[in-house]
Chains A and B, each alone.
Chain A
Amino acid sequence: MAHIPDGILSAPVLIGGAAVALGGVTLGLRSLSDRAIPRAAILSAAFFTASLISVPVGPSSVHLLLSGLMGIMLGIAIFPAVGVALILQALLFGFGGLTTLGVNTVNIALPGFILAMAIGPIIRSSHSSAMRAGLSALIGALSVLGTGGLVALSLALSAPEYTPVASVLLATYLPLALAEAFVTAAVVGFLSRVQPDALSLATGAAAS
């Protein structure tokens, strides 16, 4: 799904993806404070494990991405978190590939990062729990659809015969987007009640 294997993408797409991913990882690593490192590691481990639980849907099988949640809690540090988990998935399980690492990192991390940057501040300042749940569900669902779009785009740009068919994409990504929306809303709702602090980016105060 979001793990594009080796040997399919063309060189410009691979290099472009790697460059964006490298930029994101560098910025993300710089933003990491002492408080943010364990948080990034735990979310990275959650993402690493979540992709092992896959559910058959139609012709494919899907798994949670958690990119919306990571975007809300990590900000730009979502890039190193996703990158590390993808390296380990490629090395240990053979998901995706090492050459496509950059593209896959961007495909998963970028939608979560952008959406969380746009909507995240509203969630943090909102006092209505329904509002928070709704907005974080929106981030979760849209980041999955964004990932689907980016995967389709990177395949279409490099190998036209592998271009995903829109109807198949929708059939597999729509149920996933709904599941992702529920999970993101549930986790954000829980954290905002138990530890609202966890939703704010841990980068500001301690960043060097």
Chain B
Amino acid sequence: MMRFLFIALASLALFASPANAHKLKVFATVKGDHIAGYAFFIGGGRAQGTKWIAKDASGAIVAEGTTDMEGTYDFAPPNPASSDITITVNTQEGHIASAHVAADRLGGTSMHTPQTGSQDNVLQTSPANPAEAKPQLPSTSQLEPMIEAAVQRQVEPLLERIEQMDSHMRFTDIISGIFLIIGLAGIGLWARSRR
């Protein structure tokens, strides 16, 4: 029996590549005035056709819907930056996960402070070549969404990667778990033999 179980266990451990896991996670990102993202099982595909619900800090429902075949969702919060928003995905059979979007990631009041700063920088450098710089300088209202979109494009893969790494299972964890159990059995046998 022992040998058979050991073989079974060893083959299980072989199949359990670090990509396979079992936990629902929600990825959320801010795109302009939208919040978009998707629900995924770590290594096990997207949560398709699943209900999602977005609530603000006071618990009021901001938006709700069903994820598409890619597990994605997308909505525009009605009053940006008024409060943090939590997106909860529920597969309706026991898997529930949520993602948190802080208010200052939404283009709101708190975003304006750094943007006035960046405008100052543009004005400070522009005297070096005033004739060219001045007519080409776009207004803040034009610049803002462009910068935001560019930064978002660059940062999004990183955010996704961080989210995945955060929940990545390591082979060492699997091995240490198995050996912890073996160790516990050893402790149990030792404790019994002392009696």
Query: Which residues of A approach B to under 8 Å, CB–CB?
Result: 1-5, 8, 32, 34, 37-46, 48-56, 58-61, 63, 84-85, 88-89, 92-95, 148, 151-152, 155, 162, 164-165, 168-169, 172-173, 187, 190-191, 194-195, 197-198, 208
Contacts and interface: CB of A to CB of B under 8 A. Distances in A.
Nearest to A107: B94
Nearest to A41: B185
Contacts of A1: 22, 93-95
A152 B94 contact: yes
Given A95-B23, A164-B93, A48 B181 contact: yes
Contacts of A43: 5
Interface string B17-33: 00011110000000000
* Consensus secondary structure, chain A interface: helix
A43 B97 CA distance: 29
Contact of B180 (A38, A88, A191): A88
A187 B97 CA distance: 35
Contact of B1 (A53, A155, A164, A194): A194
Contacts of A88: 177, 180-181
Given A41-B184, A94-B23, A49 B12 contact: yes
Nearest to B176: A92
Nearest to A161: B90
Q: Top 6 A-B pairs ranked by shortest CB distance?
A: A41-B185, A198-B1, A56-B45, A54-B22, A61-B44, A52-B16
A49 B9 contact: yes
A39 B2 CA distance: 8
A41 B44 contact: no
Interface in B95-140: 95-97
Residue with the highest number of chain B CB atoms closer than 10 Å, among A46, A61, A168? A61
Given A1-B22, A52-B20, A169 B93 contact: yes
Given A8-B96, A168-B92, A59 B181 contact: no
